[in-house]
Amino acid sequence: MTNFAYQAFSEVARQRTFISAAKVLNVTPSAISHSIATLEDELEFPLFIRNRTGVTLTPDGERILPIVQEILNTEIKLHEEADRIKGLNSGKLRIGAFSSVCINWLPEIIHEFKQEFPEIDISIEQGNFNKVTEQVRLGRLDIGFSALPVRDNLHVVALHQDPIYCIVPTGFHPQNGQTITQEDVKNERFMLQQIDYDRETKQALDTYSVSENSIQFSIDDASIVAMVESGLGLGILPELAMQNLGGNVKCYPFSQPFKRTIAVVTQDEKRQTPSSQAFLQLVQEWIKQRYPAEKILAD
């Protein structure tokens, strides 16, 4: 139903090249170029700045991207509602999440969801907290798993408080034998991901007076564990991130507990598709079963 130019515009904005967008939409690059040119003529201003490596959005293009994406999302919702009226459970669901949720939560959640709604096509995109939230805000994702706080004007449901631990080599022993204190980390180096040096992780390191000069950034959770195991320093990881990670290391809580609050973010309820509403409900039920003693209110 929707003008193909809107789809082309949205995909070029995402892929940043006409060729990549053409591959995703299964058309020729010339078809993409013609559609963008037609849309620019209709709107009477350029949407992209062309360069040798691809394209970037103009300021005007940035302004209309959320509007175009909303039009596309409305069409998806229309088709899903029409399918629901016809008694079908079809549609598309785009999910974004950070790595530990992708690894430890989504396989089981999606398996349960597909048992009830086998015809719904699900795609998953992995990214950090800010990227996932931004993609939901722009309407490119229907469901996003992030961590509080979420500053965008989105529908946010807090799910789980994930404890943060200190990862140490097997030969390391806290002075009190149970928790990590400021004296334990004095003169120690810490390994963590660059994207984690904010929120609760930064709060923990600042509380124990760990300077930026004592921090070495790593690629992912597994590499943090590997470097700690090799005696290169200490690590700091949430409990969920440590699940299914190998390594001959130990973990201790900090003497002052730290937690991150994992949340699910969506567009406001009026813009949610039937499939995203069903998925959100399943996620909340799944969390209650997995963490029965925990109670968290929606943000």
Any domain includes 88: yes
pLDDT of residue 1: 46
Any domain includes 298: no
Any domain includes 222: yes
**Are residues 81 and 143 both part of a single domain?**
yes
pLDDT of residue 2: 59
**Are residues 171 and 242 both part of a single domain?**
yes
pLDDT digits 0-9 by tens, 223-261? 999 999 999 999 999 999 998 888 899 999 999 999 999
**Are residues 139 and 272 both part of a single domain?**
yes
Any domain includes 7: yes
pTM of the model: 0.73
pLDDT of residue 14: 92
**Are residues 30 and 174 both part of a single domain?**
no
**Are residues 137 and 277 both part of a single domain?**
yes
Last-in-domain residue among 39, 61, 83: 61
Any domain includes 297: no
**Are residues 127 and 273 both part of a single domain?**
yes
Output the 3-class SS for the chain.
Answer: CCCHHHHHHHHHHHHCCHHHHHHHHCCCHHHHHHHHHHHHHHHCCCCEEECCCCEEECHHHHHHHHHHHHHHHHHHHHHHHHHHHCCCCCEEEEEEECHHHHHHCHHHHHHHHHHHCCCEEEEEEECCHHHHHHHHHCCCCCEEEEECCCCCCCEEEEEEEEEEEEEEECCCCCCCCCCECHHHHCCCCEEEEHHHCCHHHHHHHHHCCCCHHHEEEECCHHHHHHHHHCCCCEEEEEHHHHCCCCCCEEEEEECCCCEEEEEEEECCHHHCCHHHHHHHHHHHHHHHHHCCCCCCCCC
Any domain includes 102: yes
CATH number at residue 96: 3.40.190.10
pLDDT of residue 298: 45
pLDDT digits 0-9 by tens, 155-189? 999 999 999 999 999 999 999 999 999 999 988 99
Last-in-domain residue among 38, 61, 84: 61
Any domain includes 299: no
Q: What string of pLDDT tens digits covers the 299 residues of the chain?
A: 458 999 999 999 999 999 999 999 999 999 999 999 999 999 999 999 998 889 999 999 999 999 999 999 988 888 888 877 665 567 789 999 999 999 999 999 999 999 988 888 999 999 999 999 999 999 999 999 999 999 778 999 999 999 999 999 999 999 999 999 999 998 899 988 877 776 788 888 889 988 888 888 887 889 999 999 999 999 999 999 998 888 899 999 999 999 999 999 998 887 888 888 889 999 999 999 999 877 654 44
**Are residues 81 and 123 both part of a single domain?**
yes
Last-in-domain residue among 19, 40, 61: 61
**Are residues 250 and 164 both part of a single domain?**
yes
**Are residues 173 and 229 both part of a single domain?**
yes
CATH number at residue 36: 1.10.10.10
Any domain includes 236: yes
As for how many domains the chain has, the answer is 3
User: Which residue range is the domain that position 42 belongs to?
Assistant: 1-61
**Are residues 136 and 196 both part of a single domain?**
no
**Are residues 21 and 106 both part of a single domain?**
no
**Are residues 105 and 246 both part of a single domain?**
no
